[in-house]
Amino acid sequence: MKSSDTLRNRVFSAVKPKRLLDMATKLVGVQSRTGEAKGVLDCFADLLKAEGFNVERPEADYPQAPAVAVRWAGKKPGKTLQFNGHLDTVHLPFVPPRVEGDLLRGSGSSDMKAGTAAAAEGLLALRDADALDSGGILLTAHDLHETPWGDGRQLDALIRAGYVGDAVLIPEYLNEVLPVIGRGGITWKVSIQRPGAPIHEVMRPAEPNVIAAGAELVRRLLALDKDLAVNRDPMAGPESLFIGQIHSGEIFNQYPQICRLEGTRRWLPGTKRADVERQFRAVLDEVAQATGTTITAELCLMRDAFLLDQKNPFVPIFQEAYQSLSDRPLPIGAKPFCDDCNTFWSLANVPGITHGPNAGGAHTLNEWVSISDLSRVAKLYALMALEFC
Determine how β-strand 232-233 pairs with β-strand 359-360.
Answer: unpaired
Binding mask 113-152 for Zn ion (x = CB under 5 A): ----------------------------------------
**Contact between 88 and Zn ion per CB under 5 A:** no
For residue 153, the minimal CB distance to Zn ion (Å) is 16
Interface with Zn ion in residues 23-52 (CB under 5 A): none
**Residue whose C-beta lies closest to Zn ion:** 111
User: What does the buried/exposed string (b/e) look like for 12-21 if buried means 16 or more CB atoms within 10 Å of the residue's CB?
Assistant: bebbbeebbb
Report whether 54 contacts 70 (CB < 8 A).
yes
At 125 the three-state DSSP class reads helix
Choose one: 112-120, 149-157, 200-208, 287-295; the region binding Zn ion (CB under 5 A).
112-120
Choose one: 105-113, 133-141, 194-202, 272-280; the region binding Zn ion (CB under 5 A).
105-113
Q: What is the amino acid identity at position 96?
A: P
| Whole-number Å distance between alpha carbons of 55 and 380 | 23
For residue 296, the minimal CB distance to Zn ion (Å) is 31
Choose one: 43-51, 76-84, 106-114, 266-274; the region binding Zn ion (CB under 5 A).
106-114
SS3 track for 188-220: EEEEEECCCCCEEHHHCCCCCCHHHHHHHHHHH
Choose one: 94-102, 103-111, 116-124, 256-264; the region binding Zn ion (CB under 5 A).
103-111
Report whether 162 contacts 222 (CB < 8 A).
no
| Number of residues lying near Zn ion (CB under 5 A) | 3
Q: In what order do the strands lie in the sheet with 368-370?
A: 98-100, 103-105, 368-370, 359-360
Which is nearer to Zn ion, 174 or 380 (by Cβ)? 174
Q: Which of 48, 112, 378, 382 binds Zn ion (CB under 5 A)?
A: 112
Interface with Zn ion in residues 152-181 (CB under 5 A): 172
The backbone torsions φ and ψ at residue 248, rounded to the nearest 5 degrees and listed phi first, read -160, 150
How many other CB atoms are there within 10 angstroms of residue 88's CB atom? Answer: 27
For residue 172, the minimal CB distance to Zn ion (Å) is 5
For residue 362, the minimal CB distance to Zn ion (Å) is 7
Which is nearer to Zn ion, 39 or 198 (by Cβ)? 39
- Reference 89, options 64, 59, 111, 118; nearest CA is 111
Q: CA–CA distance from 4 to each of 8, 77, 337 (Å)?
A: 6, 20, 36
Which is nearer to Zn ion, 95 or 129 (by Cβ)? 95
Q: Which of 88, 111, 151, 239 binds Zn ion (CB under 5 A)?
A: 111
For residue 36, the minimal CB distance to Zn ion (Å) is 16
Applying CB under 5 A, the residues found at the interface with Zn ion are: 111-112, 172
